Amino acid sequence: MRVRIGLITEGGTPCASGDTGAWWQRLVHGLAPHDFDLYAVGGPLPAAPLPPHVRPVPAAGEGAPTAGPHPRAARRAHGRRDRRRFAEAFHALATGLTAEDAPGHAPGPAAGDDPAHAFATGLGALADLARDRGGLPGALRSDEAVRLLEDACRAPRARRAAAAAGLRDLLAFADHLERALRPLSLDWYDETALGAADLCHATAGGPVALPGLLAKRFFGTPLLVTEYGVGLRSHYLAGPGADGRSTALRTLLAALHGRLAGETYRAADLLTPGNAHARRWQERLGAGRDRVRTVHPGMPAERFAEVGEDEESGEPGTLVWIGRVEPAKDLVALLHAFADLRARQPGTRLRIVSVPAEPAGPGGDGDPCAYLAQCAALAAQLFPDEATGAHAVGENPVSFEELGGPEAPTLEDVYASAAVVVLSSTVEGFPASLVEAMFCARATVSTDVGAVVEIIGGTGLVVPPRNPRALADACLALLRDPGRRHRLGAAARARALELFTVDQNLAAFRGIYLELLSHAPARHRGGSDVPFAHPAEAHLPGSWTPKAVPAGTGAPDA
Question: How far is residue 477 from each of residues 377, 446, 470, 480, 481, measured CA to CA in Å?
Answer: 28, 13, 11, 5, 6
For residue 117, is it within any domain?
Answer: no
Rg (CA), the chain: 27
Where are the alpha helices (H) located in 23-142, listed in sequence order? Answer: 23-30, 80-98, 115-133, 137-140
Alpha-carbon distance 202 to 225, whole Å? 5
Q: By the 8 A CB rule, do 437 and 415 touch?
A: yes
CATH of the domain at 314: 3.40.50.2000
Q: How many domains does the chain have?
A: 1
Q: By the 8 A CB rule, do 296 and 503 touch?
A: no
Note down the domain range covering 393: 302-500
89 CB-near residues (< 8 Å, 6+ apart): 121, 122, 125, 126, 129
For residue 314, is it within any domain?
Answer: yes
Question: Is 241's pLDDT higher than 90?
Answer: no
Q: By the 8 A CB rule, do 71 and 39 touch?
A: no
Q: By the 8 A CB rule, do 513 and 198 touch?
A: no
The pTM is what? 0.83
Alpha-carbon distance 49 to 28, whole Å? 12
| Per-residue pLDDT tens digits for 347-368 | 999 999 999 865 444 444 556 7
For residue 73, is it within any domain?
Answer: no
The DSSP annotation for 320-366 comes to: EEEE--SGGG-HHHHHHHHHHHHHHSTT-EEEEEE-PPPPP-TT---
For residue 218, is it within any domain?
Answer: no
Q: What is the pLDDT of residue 206?
A: 85
| Per-residue pLDDT tens digits for 120-139 | 999 999 999 999 888 887 89
Q: By the 8 A CB rule, do 325 and 357 touch?
A: yes
> Which phi-psi region, left, alpha or beta, contains residue 135 (left: φ > 0; alpha: ψ -120 to 50)?
left
Q: Judging by DSSP bridges, how do beta strands 398-402 and 420-423 pair with one another?
A: unpaired
For residue 173, is it within any domain?
Answer: no
| Per-residue pLDDT tens digits for 359-404 | 444 444 556 789 999 999 999 999 987 655 555 556 889 999 999 9
Q: What is the mean pLDDT of the chain?
A: 83
For residue 317, is it within any domain?
Answer: yes
Q: What is the pLDDT of residue 60?
A: 62
For residue 445, is it within any domain?
Answer: yes
Alpha-carbon distance 346 to 324, whole Å? 28
Question: Of 18-32, 256-270, 338-352, 446-460, which range is least confident?
Answer: 18-32
Alpha-carbon distance 442 to 423, whole Å? 13
| Per-residue pLDDT tens digits for 274-324 | 988 889 888 888 888 999 999 998 999 999 999 999 877 788 999 999 999
Q: Could you give the 3-state DSSP secondary structure of residue 225?
A: strand
Question: Is 178's pLDDT higher than 90?
Answer: yes
For residue 397, is it within any domain?
Answer: yes
Put the strands of the sheet holding 35-41 in their side by side order: 54-56, 35-41, 4-10, 199-202, 223-227, 270-273
| Per-residue pLDDT tens digits for 57-115 | 887 643 344 434 444 443 444 678 999 999 999 999 999 999 987 665 555 444 456 89
Task: Give the mean pLDDT of 473-486.
Answer: 96
| Per-residue pLDDT tens digits for 484-539 | 999 999 999 999 999 999 999 999 999 999 999 888 766 544 444 554 445 555 55
